[in-house]
Structure 1
Amino acid sequence: MSNSAYGRLRAATDDDLTMMRNWRNIPSVREKMYTWHEISEEEHQRWWAKIKSSDNQRYFIYEYQDVPMGVVSFNSIDVGNENASWAFYASPDAERGTGSRMEFLALDYAFFDLKLHKLSCEVLDFNTTVIRLHKKFGFVEEGILRQQYQRDGTFYDIHRLGVLASEWVDRRNDMLASIPVSRGE
């Protein structure tokens, strides 16, 4: 999938595993994930084997100006009900605007390629930047799972957000105009 001015999503391959694991293990990335321990190579390989054999998950590498900048995933793809969940994370050296470009391409892929009716996500309550980003792109807060997740003896809320295909179509052009397209913006 491509939109050259905003980057592109390409299917993740075995060759991307080391890069994906390195990014995923950076403390600022993993602290925002449910699985927040440092992931070993063996654990990563087992996870990837499951992903490759699954027909309801897809992983992509986001590239901007031909440089890998992040990972986008679609999970629990339910073709019958036309819905899925998604997640993303950026490389540690990704520039400002990367999250917006990744989200734009992910929404286009979800609604125009996967032909979903609805895309959902969950965000830990302390990840306020991503909650705001999703809302900017039209996601609606559908609920808060109160004190659903525990880490080191502290319970955290999980924000459940969703966006419908019709909502994305209505918002898409406005979002397209607001996304920075060149380095340094």
Structure 2
Amino acid sequence: MKHLQYIVLVFLLVVVTAAAQERGTTRSQGKKPVKLSPTDALEYKLNEMDELYLSKLRKNDYRKAEELLSEMYYLLDLIRGKLDPPPYMPMIMPEADLQNLLIALKKESFEKEQLNVLGVAARYGYFSVDQLIRIIDVFTFSSGKISAIKIVFPRVADKYNSYNLINAFTFSSDKEEAKKVIDKGE
């Protein structure tokens, strides 16, 4: 563990050194110094750290340090724009919260009140298609189910699974209505 702390300290030193040398970083290539960009200087220092220090670690510590170094190279590629950042995926409502929402919906006697409760929940949360299917199952009539889709669908995180929503209906007219809501993408 002490070796890993040493590696982290060396990494911080590398980052600080690279930041300090941002304006005029040079590296000798033969006899002529070469000016490096900040990201190239950071890569140079990471390579230097890999060659000079990581090889001296024990096998277990080396593996951990190598993973950290790999992540640093990945972040460096992100900074340079060589990689696209991972797509943003909103966090869907946790199962316990969904259960509470379903209970609250079932407590309401009328569809209008159910839709009001659902509207409040949808304003602040994200849902999966599977969760939306469980929500529409609470509603008795097709009109309520379609209205629920209209309320929640804009907050669905995995719209690529929308075909499951259409298949949740029995009647073709309901499937068409659900498809219209999905096609609007509201």
**What is the TM-score with the length of structure 1 in the denominator?**
0.25
Structure number with the higher strand fraction is 1
Larger RCO, structures 1/2 (Cα 8 Å, 6+ apart) = 1
Structure number with the higher helix fraction is 2
